[in-house]
Structure 1
Amino acid sequence: MNTVKLIIALLFSVLTFGQDVAKKEKWTLEDCIQYAKEKNITIQSAALDQNSAEVNYSQSKSSRWPNLTGSASQSLSNGNTIDPITSDYVAQQIHSTSLGLNTSVTLFQGNQVNNQIKQNKFQVDQNSMYVKEAENNVVLSIVEAYMQALYSNDGVTIALKNLESSQKQMDVAKARFEAGSVAKKDYTDAVSQVATNKYSLIAAQNTYDLQLLTLKQLLELEPEDAFEIETTINNLVVNELPDKIEVYTNALAQMPEIQASKLGIAISEKDLDIAKGTFLPTLTLSGSLGSGYTSTQNLGFADQLDLNFNQRVGLSLSIPIFNRNQSKSQVQNAKISIEKSKIEYRTVQKELYKKIETAWQNAKASLEQTEQAIAAKEAAQESYTLAQKKYELNALSTSDLVVAQNTLTNAEQNYFQAKYLSILYTQLLQFYQSNEIKL
Structure 2
Amino acid sequence: MKSFLYKIPLILMLIGSFVHAQDEVLTKEEAINLILENNLDIKVARNTKLIDENNADILNSGYLPSVTGNASGSIDKQNSEGVLANGDTRRAEGAETRRYNAAVNVNYTLFDGLGRYYNYKSFQERSEQSELEVRQTIENTILQLFTVYYEAARLTENTATLEQALEISKDRLKRAQYQFEFGQNTGLDVLNAEVDINTDSINLLNSKQQLRNTMRDLNLILNRDLSAQFTADTTVTFVPGLQMENMYNEAQINNVRLQIVEKDINMGLNDIRIAKSGYLPTVGLTGAYGWNESSNNSPLAFALQNTSTGVTGTVNLTWNLFDGGTTITGIKNAKIAYQNQEIAKKQIQLEVERDIRNAWDSYTNALYVLQVQEKNLQTNQNNFTRTDERYKLGQVTSIEFRQAQLNLLNAELAKSQAKYNAKLAEIQMLQVSGQLLNVDF
**Length-normalised TM-score, structure 2:** 0.81
C-alpha spacing 1:402/1:228, structure 2 compared with 1 (3 Å): same
1:372 aligns with 2:372: yes
2:8 alignment counterpart: none
Superposition deviation, residue 273 in structure 1: 0.7
1:217 alignment counterpart: 220
Q: 1:231 aligns with which of 221, 230, 234?
A: 234
- Which amino acid letter does the alignment assign opposite residue 162 of structure 2? A
2:405 alignment counterpart: 405
C-alpha spacing 1:297/1:341, structure 2 compared with 1 (3 Å): farther
C-alpha spacing 1:246/1:44, structure 2 compared with 1 (3 Å): same
How far apart are the structure 2 equivalents of 1:105 and 1:46? 35
Unaligned runs of 5+ in 2: 1-21, 81-93
C-alpha spacing 1:296/1:210, structure 2 compared with 1 (3 Å): same
C-alpha spacing 1:313/1:401, structure 2 compared with 1 (3 Å): same
Bigger mean CA deviation after superposition, 289-298 or 32-41: 289-298
2:260 alignment counterpart: 260
Say if 2:272 and 2:335, in contact at 8 Å, map to a contact too: yes
- Deviation string for 1:202-255 (max 9, x for gaps)? 221222233333333333333354432323445x496x751x233111222223
Say if 1:241 and 1:364, in contact at 8 Å, map to a contact too: no
- Which amino acid letter does the alignment assign opposite residue 265 of structure 1? I
C-alpha spacing 1:76/1:215, structure 2 compared with 1 (3 Å): same
Which structure 2 residues correspond to residues 160-309 of structure 1 after superposition, within 5 A? 160-234=163-237, 236=238, 242=243, 244-296=244-296, 307-309=307-309
Superposition deviation, residue 178 in structure 1: 4.3
Say if 2:39 and 2:221, in contact at 8 Å, map to a contact too: yes
What SS does the corresponding residue of 1:308 show, helix, strand or coil?
strand
C-alpha spacing 1:118/1:304, structure 2 compared with 1 (3 Å): farther
How far apart are the structure 2 equivalents of 1:404 and 1:343? 59
What SS does the corresponding residue of 1:309 show, helix, strand or coil?
strand
How far apart are the structure 1 equivalents of 2:305 and 2:325? 49
2:362 alignment counterpart: 362
Which structure 2 residues correspond to residues 37-436 of structure 1 after superposition, within 5 A? 37-59=36-58, 62-76=61-75, 94-234=97-237, 236=238, 242=243, 244-296=244-296, 307-429=307-429, 432=433, 434=435, 436=438
How far apart are the structure 2 equivalents of 1:433 and 1:278? 40
Superposition deviation, residue 186 in structure 1: 2.7
C-alpha spacing 1:418/1:62, structure 2 compared with 1 (3 Å): closer
Alignment length (residue pairs) = 403
Question: For the pair shown, which has the larger CA radius of gyration, 1 or 2?
Answer: 2
- Which amino acid letter does the alignment assign opposite residue 253 of structure 1? I
Superposition deviation, residue 122 in structure 1: 1.1
How far apart are the structure 2 equivalents of 1:418 and 1:247? 22
**Length-normalised TM-score, structure 1:** 0.81
Superposition deviation, residue 51 in structure 1: 1.4
How far apart are the structure 2 equivalents of 1:231 and 1:126? 37
Superposition deviation, residue 274 in structure 1: 0.6
Percent of aligned positions with the same letter in both sequences? 23
Unaligned runs of 5+ in 1: 1-22, 82-90
Superposition deviation, residue 24 in structure 1: 9.5
Say if 1:47 and 1:131, in contact at 8 Å, map to a contact too: yes
What SS does the corresponding residue of 2:26 show, helix, strand or coil?
coil
What SS does the corresponding residue of 2:25 show, helix, strand or coil?
coil
Superposition deviation, residue 128 in structure 1: 1.7
Q: 1:437 aligns with which of 431, 436, 439?
A: 439
